[in-house]
Amino acid sequence: MPDREDKLTRTTVRTITDLARLAGVSPGTVSRALAGKSLVNTQTRQKIEALAREHGFRPNQMASGLRRQKTGVIGVVIPLGHDIRQQISDSFFMTLLGFLADELTTNGYDLMLRRVVPDTDPDWLDRFIGSGMIDGVIVIGQSDQFERIEEVADGYRPMVVWGNHTEGQRHCVVGTDNRLGGRMAAERLIAAGAQRIAFLGDTGPMEFAARFAGAQDVAARMGLPPVLPLVTHLSPDRASEEIAAHLAQHGRELDGIFAATDTLAALCLTELRAQGLAVPGDVRVVGFDDLPIARQTVPALTTVRQDIAAGAHGLVDLLLRRLAGESTESLVLPPELVLRETA
């Protein structure tokens, strides 16, 4: 009889109650011991810890989360806007995600990742928040959901968004000063000899719109003709053709291109070469992001750097502060011009 029970409990110590039985104490005591509370006698605690280790026991996070009303999980959601295929392998977002994972882990949180399509699921944000699975949420990219995010922000504190900062907005955002970055890019193009500048990329998303606006600022200030928007998708496959078409039409009249991202810039370099335009001789090019690829294009890409690690750190830091009840300001990071060979 005792044999069988012994064997049984040995194999099946899944709950805190099992462990309590083994240790000859009550479940409450086990819970406190494992939580490291000071109320437990040191000997008792050590015995319990030893048993727990021996049986590889881990408390059920679901139950714990339910009771404590906190899960130790932060939701990270990527809204996929118009250009759904875009972010699927977008280096920038993915790198940010990697850093976020590290930052969150460091702070003892797990990361729940969700990619949503707002067009087919208007309820994406509330649904995630209301699931009860996450203590807070980080939104990567505003996409075309600025309004939705604003609404939610009014009633839900632990949310931080990566994206563009707009005067007077209500949600807490972390992001690069895109407009300033756009200005830096245009100024560099002009300093390198450009007079007739184009912006390559979709001007719809807020971040890109701000970059474009920054370039416009400079063109206007310098008395140059307005920056010409060359709209493209972001996914490499579609963008290539679009860029080729744009260049075929406007290539000869341009002498400077500001690309919305390094990825587009790299494609653009390839196309420029294909069309026999020299960089930076005929056309100067500046990118945005400073992804690893910027160093490897030929010629190497001059670009506006976003500090991704700092961004991730800021996102997590602000979110934790908000979880702790603080109310926080948005964080705008300074862009940095990285001079290489294309401008």
Partner DNA sequence: AGGAATCTTGCAATCGTTTGCAAAAGACTC
Partner DNA sequence: GAGTCTTTTGCAAACGATTGCAAGATTCCT
The answer to whether 238 contacts a copy of itself (rule: CB under 8 A) is no
Q: Say if CB 140 and CB 132 are below 8 A apart.
A: no
Nearest CB to DNA, comparing residues 123 and 341: 123
The answer to whether 235 contacts DNA (rule: CB under 7 A) is no
From the list 2, 11, 68, 147, which residue makes contact with DNA (rule: CB under 7 A)? 68
HEC string of the chain? CHHHHHHHHHHCCCCHHHHHHHHCCCHHHHHHHHHCCCCCCHHHHHHHHHHHHHCCCCCCHHHHHHHHCCCCEEEEEEECCCCCCHHHHCHHHHHHHHHHHHHHHHCCCEEEEEEECCCCCCCHHHHHHHCCCCCEEEEECCCCCHHHHHHHHHHCCCEEEECCCCCCCCCCEEEECHHHHHHHHHHHHHHCCCCCEEEECCCCCHHHHHHHHHHHHHHHHCCCCCCEEECCCCCHHHHHHHHHHHHHHHHHHCCEEEECCHHHHHHHHHHHHHCCCCCCCCCEEEEEECCHHHHCCCCCCEEEECCHHHHHHHHHHHHHHHHCCCCCCCEEECCEEECCCCC
From the list 8, 39, 50, 113, which residue makes contact with a copy of itself (rule: CB under 8 A)? 113
Residue 151 burial (CB count, 10 A): 15
CB of 179 to a copy of itself, least distance (A): 26
CB of 21 to DNA, least distance (A): 10
Q: Which stretch binds a copy of itself (CB under 8 A): 29-37, 126-134, 160-168, 243-251?
A: 126-134
The answer to whether 303 contacts a copy of itself (rule: CB under 8 A) is no
* Separation of alpha carbons 158 and 179, rounded Å: 27
Nearest CB to DNA, comparing residues 69 and 120: 69
Pattern 68-107, binding to a copy of itself, x per CB under 8 A?
Answer: ---x-x-------------xxx-x--xx-xxx-xx--x--
- Residues numbered 245 to 264 that lie near a copy of itself (CB under 8 A) are 263
Nearest CB to a copy of itself, comparing residues 67 and 167: 67
The answer to whether 180 contacts a copy of itself (rule: CB under 8 A) is no
Q: Are strands 302-305 and 336-338 parallel, antiparallel or unpaired?
A: antiparallel
CB of 10 to DNA, least distance (A): 15
Pattern 113-132, binding to DNA, x per CB under 7 A?
Answer: -------------------x
Q: Which does 113 bind (CB under 5 to 8 A by kind): a copy of itself, DNA, none?
A: a copy of itself
Pattern 9-48, binding to DNA, x per CB under 7 A?
Answer: -----xxxx------xxxxxx-xx-xx--xxxxx-x----
Q: How far apart, in Å, do the first and last CA atoms of the chain sit? A: 83
The answer to whether 169 contacts DNA (rule: CB under 7 A) is no
Residues lying near DNA in the complex (CB under 7 A) are found at 14-17, 24-29, 31-32, 34-35, 38-42, 44, 59-60, 63-64, 66-69, 132
Residues lying near a copy of itself in the complex (CB under 8 A) are found at 56-63, 65-66, 71, 73, 87-89, 91, 94-95, 97-99, 101-102, 105, 110-115, 126-127, 130-133, 236, 263, 266-267, 269-270, 273, 292-293, 295-298
